[in-house]
Structure 1
Amino acid sequence: MYHNKVLVFFKPLEDQVLSQKLSQLSMTSFRTPEHLIEITEDQVENIPYYLTKESKSFQQITSDLSSSELIEELRQLAILIHELLMIEFHKSLWTIYLKSGTGQLQLNQMNHPHHHIQPHLWPLEVQKRMRQQSLDSTDMAACLTYVTQHLDQLNNKMKQYQTKYNMKKNQYINYVPKIQTFVHQQLESARLAIEQQTAIVHYNYNDHVFELKLMAYSPSPVQKQIVHTLNHAKYQEQMTTQEFNLLKYRISIHESSPTSVQIPKEKFYKTIKDPSLRQNLHEQFIKIAEQAKKDMRQLSLSTAQAQMDRYHKEFNMKLEQFNLQQVTLPSDEKFNSTLLHLVEKHWKDISQGVNCFYKYKLDLLRLDSHHN
């Protein structure tokens, strides 16, 4: 059915690295708490740490139970709920992969010609998995077969776990709501990760559709260069804005729950016999260290804001230059109203895509801060 279609691949959003400097501006390090331990699809059938016998979080929700046998049964119930949710998450993502690869992904509506363009765009994850199994990732039919088979496998697993879950649920019906709530809370980060990957697929699909629609207008080399320059400037503007907002939020979390400064175990402290002098030095060290942390955070924030402002001004400058060019360019090089609308609509898509990408990072920080 799909043999005659053109197979197109994309570079994922996360590969579009803007600046290494901004990634180094985080002044606080966040440990990965129990509920945020990464869970991949290959781990669906493994017991996650938060449901092991060593897990403090599971011990807490069953602390009012005296029967070790009952606790173990509820742990097995929680494992089944976990497995069902993980399969559900990945089914939703692979369904998006299938829609992208078969040209059925819902597009952002654009009010211009050539709206019928629905490319077949197989995501990078599909290609990677096929190459790992020595399959031809450039073959449309092979990609389709691989994805549909994978979805069939997920459906079969879900049926198996659903049968086991139904049997155990009926035995412990009074405990089900509490266990379900617990597992949902622990898998919130996994749910967010799936949402992020889904958003990236949509972003790249819309981005490629834009390229195809642009080429349908047969733009001149000058017009293509102008569009590329403006799109890149818009992307930089949005990325630096979101990096600044992310850094601000990180700093606000750090300041709302300050950590105590650790005093280095220097030998000279032990040589100070006078308790008053030793305490005075201790207080001075704390004061200097706290001020240094504050100064570093402010420097990071100022640097991020300066870069955000620079790229904002750069985009506006390039846009102003473009508007001036519209007057001086030959008539065959000028952008008509339909082409202008296409480009402006794409800028909105860029903004939405970057916002979705950073929303995931912010949501993870919120989860982390709530569990600390």
Structure 2
Amino acid sequence: MATQNKGHHVKINNHPTVYIQQKSEEQVFSQKFTQLSITTNNQQPTAMKDIVGEIKQIPDYLSKRNESYKQIINQIISTTANLATSNKTKEELRQISILIYKIMVIQIYNSLWTTYLKSGTGQLIIQSKEQLNCLTNLHIWPKEIKTIITQKSIKMNATNENEIYMNFISNKLHELDNQLKQYQAELNQKINSFYGYTLKLQQLIETYIQQNMSSFRMEIEHKIELIHYDYYIQALKLEYYRHDPNVYQKNIMKQLCSSKYEQELTKQEFDLLQQQINYYNSPCQSFECSSLSQSELINSIQDSNIRQELFNQYKTIAVQSRLDIFNLYMKSAKSQMDECKKKFDANMKKLWHDQHSSSDNEKLSALMINLIEQRCNKIGDRIRYSKMNSNNINSTNDQQVPTNVQRKKCHGNRRDQRFRRKCRVKGMKPKIIEKLLMKRKQVENQNHNNTKHTNMQKIQSNKQTTDINNSSKPTTINPNKRKRDVSSQDLKLNSTLVRSTNTSQPLSKKIKEKNKTTTNSSMQNDNNTNKRKYRRPMYLKRLLPRFFKRISKILNYSLKDKVTRDFLIARLELLDEQYCLTVDQQLWQSYVNIGIEHQIWPNQLYNMAKTTDFELCQQYVIKYIKDIEHEHNLCQMKLREQSQLCSITTLPLDRIDSHMKKIVQNERHYLSLRNNEQLSKFKDDLHEQQLFETISQYRLTFDQNEYLNQLMSIRNEQGKIWEEYLVLHMRILCNFLPLKFNELENFTSPTIYTPKIQNKLAIQVNNDRIKIIKETKRIWLNIAFYAYEVKLQEYDHQYQSIWFELKSRLFNDTTVNGNVIFNHFNEYMTSQTNKLKSDIRHNLTSYRHILLENRQRSVSSKNTIRVSPEPYLDLLENPFNEPEWNYLCLG
């Protein structure tokens, strides 16, 4: 029977690996080189917030779903007598494991902060094989601590600087010690209440956690070792200054150390770049293994010769561009390495020349030269250690991945954030911004409650084209609906060069709604016609602040009284509603006149009336007009009743109404244009319906119907390809290329190299890289355009072939008048083609608006390289803002 051990304490033990998360060889190889970087002097400080976050985050290897952790728990239960296998037991063991993990993390961080303290108090003693000619008890505070203090804006001077650093680190160590005691107490409490807990059980858990957090421990040990290097480098500098060097001697030491740093840094950078390029040239990173290797658009081309030729161009330009950029990187890295080596050699040559030719006062003593040499060696050792240790850390396969990372709090949705940002640009104070935002939300909530179940207006589909009653109803969007991030949800239409024959892919959730079958929101059935609800337009919200100033100036009357303002707002809404009803009634009356004149209604109107009878459909339309007229009369009655409550006695109400009607007409002028479009569509649909009925009278055979269906199918597919072709043109103009071009940029120019020495060579490398990527994208665009043209020609060839065959059959059939039937067929197909073109133009208009909106919100689009002509700057940074840069791009 196992004994119950009380009050075990956690110790760092070195046990062999029990279970550890395994990653594939390819993932390890990828991490080793893609994450490999050279650590320079700019170390990120480890603030207390980072420590608290690290402690609170539970790593993936201690999660319930982790297979390795399940194995170690099952092993513990199977090897420990009298230990139940219930979920409660497993959860208690997991809580114990988490506490042990937190204790280990605190202990590791404690070693780091203890090293900070030793460095600042002169207790950082390193056992070194080489003999250093400097004091090892100097008070040197690490740069990380100085950075933290600077960020906290703590005022310091020469007298209290040491005290502030000492107190700050002591407080952090005290906080860590308190947390350590707290977690140890919790652990001891859980251990004491856990029946069957043994030392062997604890050792298994400790070993598992140690193996899985080895990369974290190596990272902290790496920071500690860098603190030692920084301490010695600074100590050698202070020792050099203790010999009272003159200005020349100080400058020569700075020049030599600086050039040594650049020489070693560029050499390590060159070696690292070679390793990374070798990795990207490996088979696992080839073009065939990337997402670019397949192009559905090119694969859909029927001509095998053209298809293979285009694919070869498509692949060759991507591979060659990557090779050109890699060669550019290697040439730049080697040039900087050689340049820095020459610079260091020249400084050394100058030093020895000055030693022989200068006066005794300018010469450096042997001890000073030895100090410079030791400091240069330490700088080189530090850079080499950083590179070597980064390699070891990134090559480990046990990096911890937090599973319960807390999401950043979103203080208001993105719409509110954009509103605040715009107000701040205008110079508004935070209090005023919040008041405006509160008023805005109140209006939106009130309007949202009135239109709770409304949806976005539908864009007309290819099959149902007449949107009859959208003229008087502006599109409203749910104000509480969250908007998605563009970087994660890009527009999908034409988002790649790869397309199939079915190319109608959704843009986004909103566009998906718009591409559905068009339905009329205000005319669903006769039961809903009496439930029409007036929607307060956006311009009333937008113009209210300026409306009172404008109307007050026109009427020459002060409108500061709240009662008067409320009266005018309510009256303006009634006048707006009256105008919408009038326009709506005119539109429907035009429908009636045209339908009665031609004795036919569009199919959509028959569907709304739920009948196929002409007379019943006419009654439906007339009843709908009467309902509109009834609402118009009610609105007129409200206006008369409201006029009796007018508080303005010095001005005639007719004059006020006249000016407000002009405002409504100016703001609602788009309704007249929309009515004209709707009437034009209505006439086109009637004409199409008449042609279809005329063709139907000929009693077509099955083969003739099949020919017509094939012709329509080809035209629809051709229309989709043409729409994608135009959308790609539009994306170029909007500087928002499909996602495939971003993948091309990442493939040809992975982020593996940035010149460490920012000079003219670095500027030239960046400009050459941009030129290569621009040219690559342009060639890909030309390939895509040519592929679209080939597809259009293939569909056109199929269309003409079937059309010619249909024509031959009609003319060879002696039982019918083939010429007349063929002319009607031709007229009908021409009408369908024109209708398809009109739908494409309408869709492109809506798409362009959404494209520009998403590009503005997209973060990735601002960092990608465009294909449009742009000037090249011989500067390290672009000093121009976006409007200025766009103006320069005009040439």
- Per the normalisation by structure 1, the TM-score is 0.75
The yes-or-no answer on 1:159 pairing with 2:174 is: no
- Per the alignment, residue 343 of structure 2 pairs with 314
- Counterpart amino acid of residue 197 in structure 1: K
Residues in 2 aligned to 1:103 and 1:328: alpha-carbon distance in whole angstroms: 40
Please state how far the C-alpha of 1:350 moved relative to its aligned partner: 0.9
The match for 2:57 among 47, 58, 77 is: 47
Kindly state the Cα deviation for residue 281 of structure 1 after the two structures are TM-superposed: 4.5
| Unmatched segments (≥5 aa) in structure 1 | 1-27, 32-37
What corresponds to 1:59 in structure 2?
67
Q: Secondary structure at the match of 1:171?
A: coil
1:275-294 to structure 2, matched below 5 A, reads 278=307, 281-282=310-311, 285-286=314-315, 288-294=317-323
2 CA distance for matches of 1:175 and 1:250? Answer: 43
Counterpart pick for 1:337 among 366, 370, 385 = 366
Q: 1:73 corresponds to which residue?
A: 92
How many angstroms does 1:290 deviate by?
3.6
The question of whether the paired residues in 2 share the 8 Å contact of 1:74 and 1:179 is answered with no
**Secondary structure class of the residue paired with 2:248:** helix
Residues 46, 29 of structure 1: CA spacing in aligned structure 2 closer, same or farther, 3 A cutoff? same
Alignment partners' CA distance in 1, 2:198 and 2:323: 52
- Distance between the aligned counterparts of 2:307 and 2:203, measured in 1? 56
CA contact (8 A) 1:96 1:105 kept: yes
| 2:291 partner SS | coil
Shift of 1:178: 5.0
Counterparts of residues 17-32 of structure 1 (less than 5 Å):
29=34
> What residue number does 2:222 align with?
196
Contact 2:34–2:276 (CA<8 Å) still a contact in 1?
no
User: 1:123·1:201 contact (CA, 8 Å) conserved in 2?
Assistant: yes
Q: What does residue 219 of structure 1 align with?
A: 245
2:140 aligned with 1:121, yes or no? yes
Shift of 1:63: 5.6
Answer yes or no: is 1:90 the counterpart of 2:98: no
Relative to its length, the structure with more helix (as a share) is 1
2:381 aligned partner: 352
The one-letter code of the counterpart of 1:62 is K
Secondary structure of 1:48's counterpart equals coil
| Equivalent position amino acid for 2:102 in 1 | E
Question: Aligned partners of 1:132 and 1:229: how far apart in 2?
Answer: 30
Aligned to 1:24: none
The superposition leaves residues 44-91 of structure 1 with CA deviations (integer Å, 9 ceiling, x where unpaired) of 43133425647x6x2344168585444433432332232122112111
Q: 1:271 to 1:255 in 2, by over 3 A?
A: closer
When residues 182 and 309 of structure 1 are mapped into structure 2, their CA distance, relative to the original with a 3 A threshold, is: farther
1:330 CA drift (Å) = 0.4
Q: 1:150 matched to which residue of 2?
A: 172
**8 A contact 2:115–2:224 mirrored in 1:** yes
How many angstroms apart in 2 are the aligned matches of 1:277 and 1:180? 63
Name the aligned partner's letter for residue 125 of structure 2. Q
Question: Which stretch shows the higher mean deviation, 76-85 or 335-344?
Answer: 76-85
Residue 197 of structure 1: SS of its match in structure 2? helix
The farther-off stretch of 334-343 and 118-127 is 118-127
- Map of 2:235 onto structure 1: 209
Structure with greater contact order relative to length (CA < 8 Å, sep ≥ 6)? 1
Q: Distance in 2 between matches of 1:89 and 1:370?
A: 16
Distance 1:131 1:313, change over 3 A: closer
Identity across aligned pairs (percent)?
Answer: 26
1:225 is displaced (CA, Å) by 1.2
Pairs aligned (count): 334
State whether residues 77 and 165 of structure 1, in contact with CA within 8 Å, keep that contact through their aligned partners in structure 2: yes
Unaligned runs of at least 5 residues, structure 2: 1-32, 37-45, 75-84, 401-891
TM-score of the pair, normalised by structure 2: 0.34
Amino acid at match of 1:227: M
2:292 alignment partner, SS class: coil
Matched, 1:327 2:353: no
3-state SS, counterpart of residue 396 of structure 2: helix
Counterpart position of 1:17: none
Give the Å deviation of 1:130: 4.5
In 2, the alpha carbon distance for the partners of 1:48 and 1:200 equals 28
Cα distance in 2, alignment partners of residues 96 and 301 from structure 1:
39
Structure 2 residue 122 is the aligned partner of structure 1 residue 103: yes
Q: Which residue of 2 aligns with 1:180?
A: 206
Partner Cα separation in structure 1 for residue 294 and residue 398 of structure 2: 30
Q: Once structures 1 and 2 are overlaid, which stretch shifts more, 90-99 or 300-309?
A: 300-309
1:174 and 1:354 mapped to 2: Cα distance? 42
AA aligned to 2:270 is F
- Please tell me the residue identity of whatever aligns with 2:169: V
- Structure 1 position 285, deviation (Å): 3.6
1:230 Cα deviation from its structure 2 partner: 1.0
1:333 offset after TM fit, Å? 1.1
* CA–CA distance in structure 2, aligned partners of residues 287 and 177 of structure 1: 57
> Could you give the per-residue CA deviations for residues 272-298 of structure 1, whole angstroms, max 9, x where no partner exists?
024676466446644553444344334
What amino acid is the match of 1:156?
N
Question: CA 1:184 to 1:268, structure 2 compared with 1: closer, same or farther past 3 Å?
Answer: same
CA distance in 1, matches of 2:155, 2:119: 18
CA RMSD for the aligned pairs?
A: 3.5
Cα–Cα, structure 1 residues 132 and 261, in superposed 2: closer, same or farther, change >3 Å? closer
Contact 1:130–1:137 (8 Å) recurs in 2: no
1:273 is aligned to 302
Q: Is the 8 Å Cα contact of residues 62 and 71 (structure 1) preserved in structure 2?
A: no
Give the Cα–Cα distance (whole angstroms) in 1 for the partners of residues 366 and 283 of structure 2. 52
CA apart distance, 1:213: 1.2
Tell me how far 1:370 sits from its aligned partner: 9.9
Q: Is the 8 A contact 2:119 2:139 kept in 1?
A: yes
- Change in Cα spacing, 1:134 to 1:222, as seen in structure 2 (3 Å) is closer
Counterpart in the other structure of 1:8:
none
Identify the range of structure 1 (145-154 vs 85-94) with the bigger mean alpha-carbon deviation.
145-154
User: Structure 2 counterpart of 1:350, which letter?
Assistant: I
Alpha-carbon separation, structure 2, partners of 1:175 and 1:294 = 55
Taking the aligned partners of 2:210 and 2:184, their CA distance within structure 1 comes to 16
Q: Tell me which moved more, 296-305 or 61-70.
A: 61-70
Q: Is the CA contact (8 Å cut-off) linking 1:87 and 1:154 kept in structure 2?
A: yes
Match of 2:434 in 1: none
Secondary structure of the corresponding residue to residue 245 of structure 2: coil
Counterpart in the other structure of 2:423 = none
Which residue of structure 1 lines up, in the alignment, with residue 418 of structure 2? none
Q: Which amino acid aligns with 1:217?
A: H
Per the alignment, residue 712 of structure 2 pairs with none
1:364 correspondence with 2:374: no
- CA deviation digits over 1:182-213, x for unaligned, max 9? 43343233223312322332233222222221
- Counterpart residue identity of residue 105, structure 1: L
